[in-house]
A and B are shown apart, each in its own frame.
Chain A
Amino acid sequence: MSTGRAAVEAVWRIESGRLVAGLARLTGDAGTAEELAQDALVAALEQWPVTGVPPNPGGWLMTTAKHRAVDGFRRAAVHRRAVETIGRATPASLDERDAVDDALDDPVGDDLLRLLFTACHPALNREYRVALTLRCLTGLRTDEIARAFLVPEPVAGQRISRAKKALRDKGIRFEMPGPADVAERLASVLEVIYLVFNDGYSATAGDDWMRPELSAEALRLARLTAASVPDHPEAHGLAALLELTQSRAAARHDATGRPVLLQHQDRRRWDRLLVRRGLAALVRARDAGGGTVGPYTLQAAIAACHATAPTAADTDWARIAGLYDVLATAWPSPVVALNRAMAHGHAVGPGTGLALLDAVDAVALAGYPQLPAVRGELLAMAGRHAVAALSFDEAAALTRNGPERALFAERAEQARAAADPMGR
């Protein structure tokens, strides 16, 4: 049995979510639970390399953390009920929900889910929700979170401790939301996972590997959430969207690290296992939805159109344009409007796309490089290469991402060459 640091950390990563959740049920406070879990990890890192990993490592961590909790409570002389609960609890009964919880109308009855709902409480700002979710549910270390978000380690540490303090200050207890609040709370959970995924996905080649790892982490959280609330279509919709998006990860950059647009990606490099999982999750979303389709499921359906097209030329743009029509009607946003214009440009013709683009809220998208980039693509499709080149110039000037700038500059060059094939 390997007992090096890596092995201990692997056990920790597998157990930490359940550990924090179980401790939060005992203490009523997710922040305290997270600290107790960290103490248990430190103890494991000290002892396991000497004694070996115990047969039931999760139980060992829980028992160790509980002992610390009891000591802490005794010292602080607070929370009499918690002391009694912990004093009574044996490792075997830790997996059972105590009578107090049984008395609550808990529609799911799942500690991990409660932890997700607590970490993503709408009363917390987004930054805190993200920090707590990563900290409590993925077992990422502070330095790993710092690297992933490109901030110094003390900044990440401060974010986590402030988030835990905010939980206490706002009196956010570790409990299931009532039936009336589940939908809002779940929406917040899905949003946090989506944000974390996109943070990782926006990483560029050459970034620290912890950044793309964020996307992988978010995908695992999406799988966990979908498994925890199987009746909620949007949880499956988000899982589908992230599986399908992640399936293209390897094809997004060329050998030199330059981004490659979807239309030009080498589809042999798309991950077929993730595509298959994404399509399966999409079916589950539709089955659970019973006719109603939410925004994540719609976006997943669009991603599925791309994933199932053997070549770019096979893309069912008419269907994608139709899906964007629904998305733009039910959940309008400037970015959706932009993508919708592009889809109609492909489905109907560049003139239609450009007309829709004129209706896009340019003020809301001021400074967003994708706006001139899409205009450039549509103008190039229409054969108006000279103007297209100017749009690509504008996109290149706007983006703060080096490889993307190179891509837009290249599109500008290509448009100029097409505008003046003689190279005059």
Chain B
Amino acid sequence: MRYLVVLEAVQPATPPPAELMAGIMALGEAATRAGALIDNAGLAPSLAGAKVSVGAGAGLQVTDGPFAESKEMISYAVYDTRTKAEAVEWTSRFMALHHDLWPGWEGEARVLKVMGPEDY
């Protein structure tokens, strides 16, 4: 089954520690090798994007970034796993790395199931 994981975070002012980057690389490599991680990429700050919204009475609105939200969208990953728990486990390891190695970092990864043949 396929899962889309979207990461939102509040990044500390400090640059990400080298140890964290190495850990992320190693974890990504392990998940890729296992055939579980099949796509992933970083996301540019909201300054580079826009928002298209439809709201009550306002009709269609296009707003260019940046947005004043506390969290930024950081990255996405696509997993191909047999169960939800496996996608959650890989994601937990990714989040644990941040927790252990980047003091002050706060984030939330949403694990979303992508509809597949098994859902029809």
Contact = CB atoms under 8 A, between A and B. Distances in A.
Interface in A230-256: 249-250, 255
Given A212-B117, A273-B78, A223 B83 contact: no
Given A14-B90, A216-B80, A227-B32, A6 B85 contact: yes
Contacts of B92: 1
Contact of A220 (B36, B116, B118): B36
A7 B88 contact: yes
Interface size class of B (residues with CB under 8 A): 20 to 34
Nearest to A218: B35
Contacts of B96: 55
Interface residues of A, number: 29
A209 B118 contact: yes
A6 B34 contact: no
Contacts of A17: 34
A212 B117 CA distance: 10
Interface in A171-225: 209, 212-213, 216-217, 219-224
A10 interface: yes
Interface string A259-277: 0000000000000010001
Contact of A7 (B32, B34, B85, B117): B85
Interface in A1-18: 1-2, 6-7, 9-11, 13-14, 17
Interface in A284-323: none
| A9, A10, A219, A277, most chain B CB atoms within 10 A | A10
| A1, A17, A227, A228, most chain B CB atoms within 10 A | A227
B86 interface: yes
Contact of B83 (A9, A224, A228, A249): A9
A150 B36 CA distance: 26
A399 to B, nearest CB: 22
Interface of B: 32-36, 38-39, 78, 80, 82-86, 88-90, 92, 96, 116-118, 120
Interface of A: 1-2, 6-7, 9-11, 13-14, 17, 55, 209, 212-213, 216-217, 219-224, 227-228, 249-250, 255, 273, 277
